[in-house]
Amino acid sequence: MPARAAERIRPLILVVDDDPGVRGPLEKFLRMHGFDIVAAESVDGAQDLLRHHQIQGAVIDLRLPQGSGREIVLSIPPPTPVIIFSAVPEESGGLEQMRPNTRLILKPFSLVMLVETLHGMIQSVVPHR
């Protein structure tokens, strides 16, 4: 495979958070660590992105305007990895137990831990060559 094609193989991650002060730095950090990003600040925006992109993972805040991140989490078919990040652990309502390959990371969170967790989750579902 030519080097140019190999360079383009970066997992596409959906980032959903209504706070630009969280979403912006998270997007930048994920890009720096080998991911491509599509981002939304609402449930409708995220659902639209899911219709037009095949993602390899997602990082989703549950508290969103006009809806809940739960809707987004449940609309992503397993085994696609999903990281829920929330300041309130009870807010996930056990989604991480109900949906395979879902993890809860509490805010404030370590970006390094989030990236390592996401890489590990993606590797667990990518067939090894």
The string of pLDDT tens digits covering residues 25-83 is: 999 999 999 999 999 999 999 999 999 999 999 999 998 988 899 999 999 999 999 99
Tell how many helices (H) and how many strands (E) occur in the chain. Answer: 6, 7
Is residue 59 in some structural domain? Answer: yes
| Cα–Cα distance measured from residue 127 to residue 52, given in angstroms and rounded to the nearest whole number | 24
pLDDT level of residue 128 (50, 70, 90 thresholds): low
Number of domains the chain contains: 1
| Cα–Cα distance measured from residue 5 to residue 17, given in angstroms and rounded to the nearest whole number | 31
**Contact (Cβ atoms closer than 8 angstroms) between residue 46 and residue 18:** no
Whole-prediction pTM = 0.89
| Domain residue limits at 30 | 3-122
* Region label for 28, one of left (φ > 0), alpha (ψ between -120 and 50) or beta (otherwise): alpha
Distances from the Cα of 115 to the Cα of 30, 55, 61, 91, angstroms: 7, 16, 16, 22
Quick one: which H or E segment has residue 83?
Answer: strand 82-86
Is residue 129 in some structural domain? Answer: no
Is residue 62 in some structural domain? Answer: yes
